Structure 1
Amino acid sequence: MNGLALHERPASSPSWRIALPHTAAAVPVARALVRNALAEREHGADCDTAELLTAELVANAVEHTSGSSPIELVVELLPSGCQVEVHDPDPEPPGDLTQPAGGMPDPWQEGGRGLLLIRALSQSCGHRPTGSGKAVWFRLPVVPAQRRPV
């Protein structure tokens, strides 16, 4: 993975783990890692959706957690799809990741749609505590070959 792969499991379930800076510069790096991982393995998950949702998770981790500790991106390619996790140092769970908390976002505001997109476009999503904060994740299924763009 051009020097980005920090950890890779056996061929049955490849995964990548990388520390990213706690800045907005982490977003394009995370998108590129997910895109390259899916392309390199010719994986059947929707690359555009994986990139978009990864960007949302990373942007949320950068924007809504304090400090300068790196965040961590974990990408796992499974036979049934892919799972992307973003680890950050804040133990507080994201408020409305699995259920909306208060209706639709204000159409006049720039933000407020990230978690809605993750809920709507992923097969499943959630969060879990870690020893140093939390991990927020989503899963995407493999798109059947006949439905993939040519």
Structure 2
Amino acid sequence: MLETPPSSNWRIALPRGATAVPIARAMVRCALQDLGTTADRTTAQLLTAELVANALKHTGGDHPIELVVERGPDGCQVEVHDGDTVLVEGLGEPAPMAMLMSAAGPGEPLPMTGPRATGPGTTGPGTTEPGTTGPGAPLPAPAAPVAATAPRVPAIRNRGLLLVRSLSSGSGCRRTQDGKAVWFTLPEVHRTRRR
């Protein structure tokens, strides 16, 4: 008698609401265990939570959300499907380190010039007249702009997508028949045995 091979993917419909994220985290952990993949489960749970939270935040209440986990020859791919047709931007190849460093503020790169200073003639609450010293006196304007120490990198507005990009081996967004799928891949982790 021929045995059917175990399924190489899981499909899970998620509820809309606050329970979707913890359910998705638990389901991706179970799916990776069941599929026998050695991909990092903690990273998979974190990135899945980010994608499900984004789907909840950016899609209407009538769009269903589905989690798909598939094992491939080089690792696993996790997808979050929703009914919204607007594709997510900012995914693709893993993010360069400079981009990670520039994510200091929500959607803002780190400043690349010296400290902000007020110029002569600036007055307002807590300041004194130009040319005076003491608490609240305006700072002199710098003589020349301070050179940037690192190249400017476009800012990513969504830190969750930056996490997905930086912690996965690949990520993206594609259209589906009913909307879109946002996905990431994680490689198999080859552990060495201790003696």
Q: TM-score, normalised on structure 1?
A: 0.79
Q: Among the aligned pairs, what percent are the same residue?
A: 56
Are residue 114 (structure 1) and residue 113 (structure 2) matched?
A: no
Are residue 37 (structure 1) and residue 36 (structure 2) matched?
A: no
- 1:6 aligns with none
Question: What amino acid maps onto 1:60 in structure 2?
Answer: N
Instruction: Kindly report which structure 2 residues correspond to 1:1-150, keeping only aligned pairs within 5 A, or say none.
Output: 10-11=5-6, 14-98=8-92, 104=103, 106=105, 112-146=158-192
- RMSD (CA atoms): 2.6
Is the 8 Å Cα contact of residues 21 and 69 (structure 1) preserved in structure 2?
no
Residues 37-65 of structure 1: CA deviation (Å, up to 9, x unaligned): 22234421000001111111111000111
Q: Which has the larger radius of gyration?
A: 2
Q: CA deviation at 1:91?
A: 0.6
| 5+ long unaligned stretches in structure 2 | 108-156
Secondary structure (helix, strand or coil) at the match of 1:68 reads coil
Is the 8 Å Cα contact of residues 63 and 84 (structure 2) preserved in structure 1?
no
Question: What amino acid maps onto 1:32 in structure 2?
Answer: A
Rounded to whole Å, the distance in 1 between the matches of 2:90 and 2:189 is 27
Q: CA deviation at 1:80?
A: 1.4
Q: TM-score, normalised on structure 2?
A: 0.62
| Structure with greater helix percent | 1
| Structure with greater strand percent | 1
Secondary structure (helix, strand or coil) at the match of 1:19 reads strand
| 5+ long unaligned stretches in structure 1 | 1-8
Q: Aligned residues, how many?
A: 136
Q: CA deviation at 1:92?
A: 0.6
Q: 1:10 to 1:105 in 2, by over 3 A?
A: farther
